[in-house]
Structures are given as structure tokens and as C-alpha cells.
Structure 1
Amino acid sequence: MSYQLFGKDLFSAPIILVNHALTGNSDVSGEKGWWKKLIGENQVIDTEKYTVLCFNIPGNGYDDFLIDHYEDFTPSDIANIFLQGLEVLNIKSLHAIIGGSLGGGIGWEMLVQHPTLAEIFIPIACDFKTHDWLHAQCLVQKYLLNGNDEPLQKARIHAMLCYRTPESLNDRFQNKYNQQKQRLESEDWLIYHGNALNERFSLKSYKLMNHLLMNINVDETQLEKIHARMHMISVDTDLFFPASEIRMCFEKLKEKKENVFYHEITSIHGHDAFLMEYEQLNNIIKNIL
């Protein structure tokens, strides 16, 4: 296991655990931080006020560690590994757990295994379960990743169409044609994203992450045992974790628990809005914290 710490020294301030998404890593803040618009000095998650901890999902390749038999692992196993990581660091409780997409799914798993771990839980653009639609998209990803010809690039191109929406792409590109490259600008954009991920991410890591996303499976009957105040954040146009599913989870929990809340980001961009609509996300999280 590897991890990074940001902000105040461990045990000198409230600890916020951030669980990264599919192609993310522990580098959540600072110059290259993928959530630096949310986490940092004078940001909503202020590193002058909090200790921010982020584990790498073992096998994500960020620390050059890869897993060959990736199908041996489920998000429940990763959650258990994270809990053991907290034990090694001697962390008994957390102020908050925040996770986007797959990271939020692992957060659900952690809190079902350790219901009193955190005061606040903020799952963003995710649910406690991989529903049929998401499983189907991950299945297509699996087929592409097991191919021989540019598997990672092709899987990423398909994934980008799940992370965004028809409205987002149509609004951005408007059928513009790149004469120099002799292709649509939208096609050029997709090819760029496929190649960019191929340069920074390994095929083994992608297969593992896709497998994990395919197998989020928290026992719904255990959710009400979680002590944390829960704030579920969805995106109204999300094609991966539809807002309707997250809302349904909220409605069911609301019948049994008082400290459950629902928030919705409005965006044309779909699932990726949790990495794009910072003004809305910051306002929501500011009010929660």
C-alpha cells in the first residue's frame, strides 16, 4: 500500500480520507493534484484546517505496483485493505470520507465494514452497487481491454462517451472538421484521450479498475447501520451512476435514518461533472463541512 498526506500533520487536525476514482491516484492536492480546485490552501477542503489522506488503490500503478490476478479482488477487499492501512497508521476515526465514482463505492464498502469510522460520508457520482447499466458498460470495456489492437486506447474512447453526454459533445464540437488531420474534431479529441491515458496508465491497472467498478456490491440491508451523516451527491445527466438510482437509495435510507441528505449537480457534462463543475461542487461541500 502507498498513500499521500496533505495539509496538517497527522493527529494535529481532523482527518479527511479521499478515495480516488478509476484512473486517479493519491495525488489529490498541490501543483499536479487532480482535485486541487477542491483540496488545498484556502480551498473548500482547506489544508490549513484539515489533514487529507489518500491511499492508492493497490494495483493502480501509481507506485509501480501492479496486480496480475486482478479478478481475485473486489471493492470489498480494497475497502478492507484501506481499513488495515488506517490501522497501521493508528487512525481510529475520520472526520469525513469523500469519494468520487469508484472511490465512493469503496467508501460505502468501508463504512459497512466499520459503521462508526467517520462522522461524515460524501459519496459523489456513485452508488453502493453496480447496477445493470453500469455493469453492461464495464462489460464492453472488458471486451475492449482484452483485445489485441490498442486495447487501452479503444477502451478509453468508449469510456469517454460514458463519462460525458450527447449534449456535452454536440455542444462542444458542433460537427467541426479538422482539415489538417482529415477528421472530425470530436474524433480527434477522443483519439487524444485514448493516447494520453495509454501513455500514463497501464493495461493491467485499467483491467483491475474496470473489474472493481463492475463489482461494487454492498449489502443494502447494512446501509442503515452506518453512523456517519451521509451526503449523497449526484449529477443530473450522469450516464454511469444515474441520479435516479442515487435518489432512490437516498429515499430508502431517509425512511430509516435522519442524518441522510441528497444534493444534485446540474450539468450537461454527465458523470465527469464531478471533475468539472467546481463551483457547484465547492458550494455543496462547503455547506456540508
Structure 2
Amino acid sequence: MENRPSPIIIQDFITESGAVFHSLPLNFTLAGQPLHSAPIVLVNHALTGNAEVTGENGWWSDLIGEGKTIDTAVYTILAFDVPGNGNTSFIVENHLDFTARDVARIFIEGLKILNIERLFAIIGGSVGGGIAWETLALAPNITEHLIPIASDWKSTDWLIANCFLQEQILNNSSKPIEDARIHAMLCYRSPESFKEKFQRTINQDLLIFNIESWLAHHGKKLQQRYQLSSYKLMNQLLKTIDITRNTQNFENLLSKSKASIHIIGINSDLFFTAKENKETYVELKKFKDNVFYSEIDSVHGHDAFLIEYKQLDYLLAGIFKAETIKK
């Protein structure tokens, strides 16, 4: 169903900060229809994700697969691993070398090497959506549809503050991955989500609150499968999303693109707030017609993009159902 060809090797890549990588491996997966035989959907993973987007272990397999919203019988599904995300042996020694824009540049290089001139859609949640925005700003004609979910074109002060705290924990804690994950879960969910799930109940075996044992469990679980260098890198990418940094203004950048932009917010998202998403939509509408805003209604906060598949199916149906593909 999903296969992992040999990695693309990107030669002599120089990051925005001037770090030089003579040989940068870019791992990817392909699923669905053979490459160049069908419309291609590029899927960008989030902070602890990877390129396994569909199939048995796919983190978005409720959304992507045979007969699903993004149908593998209709589309070619392409996903890249962010180099250094912990899914391969490649490690980024200094996470401060990279920005979200660097990763977008790497992905664009990967598309060129695969002889892909145009995508049907780029879709991503959270930092994956931020990298999608950066990609469109760098290559305005790369895709027909941009679909950032629970994301935005820039990191806000609130988001940067949380990333700063994450970095402090990752640098200073005796259990950095566990403790950073515990803090992050407070940003990924919402007060209402915790109330609905736990109701201030006690774990009778441990004699602590169930919310505490749940958070500790999530911390331990991530620690078992994740690397400190990867967490630092992905947190740095989340902090550095900004398509306008050291470049043109928002309107100049995005008026160059004919792509339809479908912003999907979450009404309870504490991380990339619905208010920020709506402001982005209003700004875009001033100079671009084919911009759309829709919202997931959920108590679950930021993580709703991984939970509310029925709503996502409904919101994405108009883009991905077969009859909308230009024959």
C-alpha cells in the first residue's frame, strides 16, 4: 500500500543561517497510484509525526486510504520525512541551523528530483501546515490547492512563547522528552477536553488524579520512541514559521499564487487559534478570491485535526472527491 523508496540525496544544501550540508538525505513514502499517473497530494507531518501517513501504522489513515476522503484509488500520496525527525538515522546536530522555510526548500528540491512540477494539493496539520504555507510562498505555482489545518503562515507570540518554554524544558530537564511532552499536551488539548475526559477522577492504583497518570503515560510513551535531537529540531521549526521574514510582505507573496487556499481552523485550538486563522482569511480575501475558511467544532483543541475525521471528511469532500478532478 505504502512504500518507502530509497532516499533522495540533496547535495550542498545551505540553510538560511548558513549551515552547509554536503549530502542531505530526504526520505519519503509513496502510496496510492503510481507516480505521474494521477494527481499528487503532498502530505506534511506534524511535530512527532513522520512520512507514514496511511496504511496500518499511518497516523492519518482514517483520512487517507482506499475509499477514504483522500482516496488512494484516485490519487498518488507523497509524504516526506522532515530530515532529522527521528524516523531515520540522519540526525541534525544543531537544531538552530534550521527554520520552517529551510524544510520547505528541501521539500521543493525533493519534488524537482522526483520530476514533479505541480501538485494537486499540499495538506498538513500544525507545523506541517506551516511548512505548506512556506512552500507556497517560495513556489507560488507548485500546487492547485493549499490546505493548512490547525496551522497558520506565522508563529504568533503565544506560540513562540510555548516553543521557548519547550526549549527550556528540553535543555534543562533531567527527563526532557517526558517533561516537554507533558507541557505540550496542555497546548494540544483544551480545558474542556480534559474536563470531559477525566471529571477530576482518581487513579485508584496510583492514588493520583487520572489526568496526572494520563500525562505521565504520554510522556513515557514519547520518550520510548523519540529522540531529544528530533524534538528540539521540530520545536525550532514550529517557532520559525513566518513566510514574510526577511522577504516580501504577505500580499506580495501570496498574490503571486493562483492556488485555492482552504484554511481549516479548530474552534478550541489554543495553539493556532481560530481567531488568527480568521484574520488570515480576511487578509487574503482583500486581494484573492479563491480563499476559503472552515472550522472543526470540537472540545479537543489543537489535536482535533487528528481526532475529528468525520468533520474533516465533510470539510475536505469538495476538494478531494473524484468528480471535482479536472478530466
TM norm structure 1: 0.99
Pair 1:271 & 2:270 matched:
no
Letter paired with 2:56: E
Return the structure number with greater relative CO, CA threshold 8 A, min gap 6.
1
Q: Distance in 2 between matches of 1:20 and 1:228?
A: 21
Q: 2:138 aligns with which of 90, 97, 113?
A: 113
2:73 pairs with 1:42: no
1:225 CA displacement: 1.9
The structure 1 residue matched to 2:128, chosen from 88, 91, 103, is 103
Computed over aligned residues only, the root mean square deviation of the Cα atoms, in angstroms, reads 0.7
State the alpha-carbon separation in 1 of the partners of residues 283 and 173 from structure 2. 44
Structure 1 segment 81-160 matched on structure 2, within 5 A: 81-160=106-185
- The ranges of structure 1 where at least 4 consecutive aligned residues each deviate by more than 3 angstroms after the TM superposition are none
Deviation at 1:224, TM superposition (A): 2.4
Equivalent residue for 2:287? 256
Hey, what's the Cα distance between the residues in 1 that align with 2:285 and 2:316?
A: 20
Q: Percent identity?
A: 51
Paired letter, 1:92: E
Of 217, 228, 234, which aligns to 1:203? 228
**Normalization by structure 2: what TM-score?**
0.87
Measured after TM superposition, the shift of residue 201 of structure 1 is 0.8
- Give the counterpart letter for 2:302 in structure 1: H
In the superposition, relative to structure 1, how do residues 148 and 160 fare at CA in structure 2: closer, same or farther (>3 Å)? closer
Which position in structure 1 is the counterpart of 2:195?
A: 170
Task: Say which is worse superposed, 177-186 or 125-134, in terms of deviation.
Answer: 177-186
- State the alpha-carbon separation in 2 of the partners of residues 155 and 25 from structure 1: 19
Q: CA deviation at 1:223?
A: 2.1
Provide the C-alpha distance between the structure 2 equivalents of 1:264 and 1:288, rounded to a whole number of angstroms: 15
Q: 1:74 aligns with which of 99, 103, 118?
A: 99
Deviations 1:207-263 (A, max 9, x none): 000011011011123122222101000000100000000100000101101100000
Matched residue of 1:225: which SS?
coil
* 1:263 partner SS: strand
Among 258, 268, 275, the alignment partner of 1:227 is: 258
- 1:45-94 CA distance string (max 9 Å, x none): 00000000000000001012110011011111100000000011111110
Question: Hey, what does 2:207 align to over in structure 1?
Answer: 182
Secondary structure at 2:144 match in 1:
strand
Q: CA deviation at 1:198?
A: 0.5
Q: What does residue 281 of structure 1 align with? A: 312
Equivalent-residue separation in structure 1 for 2:128 and 2:316 (angstroms): 16
Deviates most, 204-213 or 140-149 = 140-149
CA–CA separation in structure 1 for the residues paired with 2:172 and 2:105: 32
Residues 118, 142 of structure 2: 8 Å contact kept: yes
Gaps of 5+ in 1: none
Q: Which residue of 2 aligns with 1:14?
A: 39
SS in 1 for 2:172: coil
Q: Which residue of 2 aligns with 1:161?
A: 186
Q: What is the total number of aligned residue pairs between the two structures?
A: 289
* Structure 2 CA distance for aligned equivalents of residues 227 and 197 of structure 1: 40
1:237 lines up with 2:268 in the alignment: yes
Distance 2:75 2:265 in 1: 25
Question: Does the aligned pair in 2 maintain the 1:231–1:288 contact within 8 Å?
Answer: no
Asked if the contact 1:235–1:271 (Cα under 8 Å) also holds between the matched residues in 2, the reply is yes
Q: In the alignment, does 2:90 pair up with 1:65? A: yes
2:263–2:292 Cα contact (<8 Å) kept: yes
Cα contact 1:107–1:123 (8 A) shared by 2: yes
Gaps of 5+ in 2: 1-25, 245-249, 321-327
